[in-house]
Amino acid sequence: MKYRLIDAEKDHHDVSLLARVLGVSRQGYYAWAKRGPSARARRDAELTEKIRRHHTASDEIYGAPRIHADLREIDGEKVGRKRVARLMRAAGLAGVSRRRGCRTTIADRRAAAASDYVDFYASEHHAANLGQIFRPTQAPLTPNWKHLPIGYHGRAGTVVVSGTPVTRPAGQYIVPDAASPAFGPSRRLDIEAEIGFVVGTPSALGGSVPAAAFTEHVFGVVLVNDWSARDIQAWEYTPLGPFLGKSFATSVSPWVVPVDALAAARVAPHQDPAPLPYLSDGERWGLDITMEIRLNGHLISRPPFGSTYWTADQQLAHMTCNGASLRTGDLYASGTVSGPHPDQRGSLIELTWNGADPLELPDGSRRAYLMDGDTVTISASARSADGTRLGFGEVTGTIEPNR
Amino acid sequence: MKYRLIDAEKDHHDVSLLARVLGVSRQGYYAWAKRGPSARARRDAELTEKIRRHHTASDEIYGAPRIHADLREIDGEKVGRKRVARLMRAAGLAGVSRRRGCRTTIADRRAAAASDYVDFYASEHHAANLGQIFRPTQAPLTPNWKHLPIGYHGRAGTVVVSGTPVTRPAGQYIVPDAASPAFGPSRRLDIEAEIGFVVGTPSALGGSVPAAAFTEHVFGVVLVNDWSARDIQAWEYTPLGPFLGKSFATSVSPWVVPVDALAAARVAPHQDPAPLPYLSDGERWGLDITMEIRLNGHLISRPPFGSTYWTADQQLAHMTCNGASLRTGDLYASGTVSGPHPDQRGSLIELTWNGADPLELPDGSRRAYLMDGDTVTISASARSADGTRLGFGEVTGTIEPNR
């Protein structure tokens, strides 16, 4: 029973190849369905509580090495140092003694995952928000927006697995009233909370994949944080689109949830005008997934993926309607997920309205954009066939200073 | 002596890995320098003459099967059928009996080459021409153009080796006076003649590659035809750049000419304003390469790559200045190469000024854009250290009808 989903998928997906391309164990595909927290996860939760106690008692000065020693000497807990560091990172706890660049038990090897990476722009609320911010004198949505799922290719070589540190990118940006652009570390480093789709079964060059063949080609779903440098992007993106503002890193969750496990979460968004026939084939694969974004452990947004305008099956059909082929390991992401409400926005540029309305964090600090040392974690869940919640794990990353 | 270049490169490039990623034999890297046409190439030329004679004598009705038979029965030539088909395709000869989709001895396996594919926009003449055509009411160059080499990611999975047939893509485009977009085979299918650069040695995530380290990371040069569907591109590209208008196919020449063989062809273009320091490091790697574009065997343009504004070392530095890493097999291309003169333009949209001034071919037909069955071949040469011309082979492709 535990292996139900992988068995169901075996018929047409080459799971071994997929696992190799993604650089993960085949065990990574076993279903999340009906599994409670593992013994390890329960133990992690227990340890996190003890760690938090020591950290707080030290006026939040202690870092992982000191807390590791206290756990052993005071609580008699024999725990690995890397585990302590990982749990502290996950809980957003950082002491002043924390060594920069410390390794944790979260593997930070390169995922080397995606064969090709496409980023869409499927949330109407997000697109309208960005349109208002970037092009205030024009209509928020471009004329093509409701006729096709706008997308563009991202850099596949910098798709990294959750836990990989993200180095603040440098690049050109415009300084107000300056005659020419400046070059330096980004001052508007942002996140984009997205849902990603992993191709399991390739398609032939010159052919197209109908929307109704979605489950024949897409193996499963990951969480994506498509980090963005807004200042770099704003200057470079005319006329050929985003490039260096996005290509420095795209983090994905290490677990791929098979599409078949998500049948109970399917939704069909209302679309007006009616899409062209190649985008209307079959039934929609919108997914009612609730996402949560935490900045340094503090919940800042709950984007509802179900509110997205364009669906994953339509994106697949669009991406291949020109004869472009799919390869095993291809990744395409929804684009930033933003709901209709202000606390459902999937990026800081929207949550703070380009910095005009900064977030206040529990430690009293404020954020327009990300600071070095900030950790962003995106998690998500969806209803499963038996009414329980299906977890997606998480995608997390911490900003390191530009080198 | 024959192996000089590969030996010189061995020290820091992993040639075996590169050959595997590119799907070519290691012999593919032996230098072109000082090699005359091979015995096979001379024999090809001889056979092509005989084929052309039979084809012409038949009022251009005979296709490969009939000509193959005539060669055997009349000339006593024992030649493979696939070779006849390949030579006819290369010579732009097509009979009415030609079977669609016939295979030739040019391997049409997928190159599966590029790890990531980036397309730049480095020719000022090209960018200005396209600006005038696409955005006639605005300045031809966007404000960022002379400050950074504009680029964007293309689809690596559809980079194909020379000789692979190119299926006419379908997509959405705007019909004048229609209320909504239409969907169908592209009616403005075009070429883009470019020079491509193949990465041999990777770089680390979070670091950057200085322009002066160009030869440490870039192995060699290929010819690129980055096929473009102008009608699809014009409708989709706002605001996130080209996508389906480009992603259906990018053809590359099968031979990689090592950068070291091109030292004698180096040029340094004049750049005003002076680029930022990260784009000024070291000496420029502009290259004086003369390209030739043939449509159905007829020379239609001679783009001079030496006239390009941004150079390959600057593009490499720009592409990695944000910490994006390089992988072995990454491909980046110059963007369409257009010189200052009308007969030096690297795309049909420029050569025909968006169809307003069609090309006249020797057979009396006219072309605004490509028709099904058209064959486009790009070749190039550059001066070598001993004063002879170094050939780049060719990249060729024939348009097949949309399926």
Read off the pLDDT band of A165 (50, 70, 90). very high
Total count of residues recorded for chain A:
403
Catalytic residue among A126, A147, A298, A341: A126
Instruction: Give bridge partners of residue A380 from the DSSP assignment.
Output: A291
Pick from B211, B233, B208, B191: nearest CA to B149? B211
How many other β-carbons are positioned within 10 Å of the β-carbon of residue A48?
16
Inter-residue contact B156 to B114 (CB < 8 Å): yes
Strand partners, A399: A166
Instruction: Please say if the pLDDT value at position B295 is more than 50.
Output: yes
What is the model's pLDDT at position A296?
A: 97
A206:B324 CB<8 A: no
- Catalytic annotation on A126? yes
Confidence of residue A387 (pLDDT cuts 50, 70, 90): confident
Separation of CA A81 from chain center: 27
Q: Average the pLDDT over A86-94 and give the result.
A: 82
DSSP β-bridge partners for residue B399? B166
- Whether residue A103 is predicted with pLDDT greater than 90 in this model: the reply is no
CA angle B363, B369, B374 (to 5 degrees): 50
Mean pLDDT of chain A: 86
Test mutation, B322, B399, B400, chain A, max A CBs within 10 A = B322
- Per-residue pLDDT at A181 exceeds 90: yes
What is the set of active-site residues of B?
126
Q: Over chain B, what is the mean pLDDT?
A: 86
Query: Tens digit of pLDDT for each residue in A249-308?
Result: 999 988 788 888 899 999 999 999 999 999 999 999 999 999 999 999 999 999 999 999
pLDDT-derived band at A99, boundaries 50, 70, 90:
very low
> Rounded distance, CA B105 to CA B231, Å?
33
> Taking CB atoms and an 8 Å cutoff, what residues of chain A touch B183?
276-278, 321
Residue A316 corresponds to which tokens in the numbers above? 């697949």
How remote is the C-alpha of A260 from its chain's centroid? 20
Q: Which residues of B touch A118 (CB under 8 A)?
A: 243
What angle, 0 to 180 degrees and rounded to 10, lies between the N-to-C axes of helices A64-73 and A81-91?
120
pLDDT at B20: 61
Q: Where are the strands (E) in B244-311, listed by range?
A: 250-252, 257-258, 266-267, 286-287, 289-295, 298-301
Least confident among A13-22, A142-151, A349-358? A13-22
- pLDDT of A86 above 60: yes
Q: Find the CB nearest B403 among A170, A207, A330.
A: A207
Residue of A nearest to B278 (CA): A183
Give the pLDDT score at A201.
86
Is pLDDT of A382 > 50?
Answer: yes
Where does the pLDDT of residue B34 fall: very low under 50, low under 70, confident under 90, or very high at 90 and above? very low
Taking one residue from A and the other from B, the number of pairs with CB-CB distance under 8 angstroms is 204
Instruction: With CB atoms and an 8 Å threshold, state whether A156 touches B115.
Output: yes
Going from the C-alpha of A129 to that of each of A135, A174, A353, B155, B266, the distances in angstroms are 10, 21, 9, 28, 47
Q: What pLDDT was estimated at residue A209?
A: 96
Whole-number pLDDT of residue A2: 27
Task: Judge: A403–B147 Cβ closer than 8 Å, yes or no.
Answer: no
Q: Give me the percent of chain B exceeding a pLDDT of 90.
A: 63
Q: How confident is the model at residue A91 (pLDDT cuts 50, 70, 90)?
A: confident
Which of A126, A137, A190, A243 should one mutate to test binding to chain B, selecting the residue with the greatest count of B CBs within 10 A?
A243
ipTM score: 0.77
The more confident residue out of A98 and B169 is B169
Check pLDDT > 60 for residue B319.
yes
Would you state the structure tokens that stand for residue A198, as one six-digit string? Answer: 């992993």
Stated as kind and residue range, the H or E segment containing B44 is helix B39-57
Instruction: Answer yes or no: do A330 and B157 touch at CB < 8 A.
Output: yes
Q: Chain B closest CA to A241's CA: distance in Å?
A: 4
Q: Could A322 and B170 be called an inter-chain contact, meaning their C-beta atoms sit closer than 8 Å?
A: yes
Instruction: Check A206 against B157: CB less than 8 A apart.
Output: no
List Cα–Cα distances, B321 to A75, B206, B349, B350, in angstroms. 47, 9, 33, 32
Structure tokens at B2: 């024959």
Distance CA B203, CA B322 (A): 12
- Selecting from B156, B278, B323 the residue whose C-beta is nearest the C-beta of A116 gives B156
Task: Tell me what pLDDT residue B297 has.
Answer: 95
Q: What is the pLDDT of residues B129-164, one digit of tens each?
A: 999 998 899 999 999 999 999 999 999 999 988 899
Answer whether the bond into residue A239 is a cis peptide, omega within 30°: yes
Contact between B295 and B367 under an 8 Å Cβ cutoff? The reply is: yes
Question: How many C-beta atoms surround the C-beta of residue A58 within 10 A?
Answer: 16
DSSP secondary-structure letter at A26?
A: G
pLDDT at residue number B393: 86
Find the mean pLDDT for residues A194-201: 92
In this prediction, residues A219-229 reach a mean pLDDT of 94
Q: How confident is the model over A33-45, as a mean pLDDT? A: 65
Beta-carbon separation of B152 and A157 below 8 A: no
Residues B303, B309, B312: CA angle, nearest 5 degrees: 90
Distance to chain B for A376, nearest Cα, Å: 18
CA dist A324 and B245 (Å) reads 10
Q: Do B266 and B284 meet the contact criterion of CB atoms below 8 Å apart? A: yes
DSSP strand pairing (A159-161 vs A250-252) = parallel
Q: Band the pLDDT of A114: cuts 50, 70, 90.
A: low
CA atoms within 13 Å, Cβ hemisphere of B99: 11
pLDDT at A23: 54
Which region among A26-40, A139-153, B96-110, B235-249 has the lowest average model confidence (pLDDT)? B96-110
Is the pLDDT at A113 greater than 70? The verdict is no
pLDDT winner (highest mean) among A75-84, A102-111, B198-207, B234-243 = B234-243
Helix, strand, coil fractions of chain B, as percent rounded to 5: 30, 20, 50
Q: Using the structure block, give the residue that is written with the tokens 């928020």.
A: A140
Q: Which residue's structure tokens are 């099904």?
A: B372
**Chain B closest-CA separation from residue A134 CA (Å):** 10
Q: Is the peptide bond before B210 cis (omega within 30 degrees of 0)?
A: no
* DSSP three-state, residue B372: coil
- Rounded distance between C-alpha atoms, residue B182 and residue B187, angstroms: 11
Residue whose structure tokens are 């990260």: B278
Cβ <8 Å between B208 and A150: no
C-beta atoms of A402 and B323 within 8 A: yes
pLDDT given for residue B45 in this prediction: 86
Chain B residues with beta carbon closer than 8 angstroms to that of A237: 239-241
At B98 the pLDDT is 37
Give the pLDDT score at A314: 98
CA distance B91 to B298: 9
d(CA A148, CA B69): 50
Whether the full predicted model's pTM is greater than 0.90, yes or no, is no
Residues of chain B found within 8 Å of residue A150, distances taken between Cβ atoms: 236, 239-240, 243
Count the Cβ atoms, other than its own, within 10 Å of residue B182.
Answer: 14
- Considering only the beta carbons, identify the residue of A150, A205, A241 that sits closest to B158: A205
Q: Give the burial class of A30: count Cβ atoms within 10 A of its Cβ; 0-12 exposed, 13-18 middle, 19 or more buried.
A: middle
pLDDT value at residue A115? 86
| B102 against B279, higher pLDDT | B279
Considering A324-328, B249-253, B369-373, the range whose residues carry the highest mean pLDDT is B369-373
Predicted local confidence at residue A19, as pLDDT: 59
* pLDDT score of B88: 87
Distance CA A154, CA A168 (A): 18
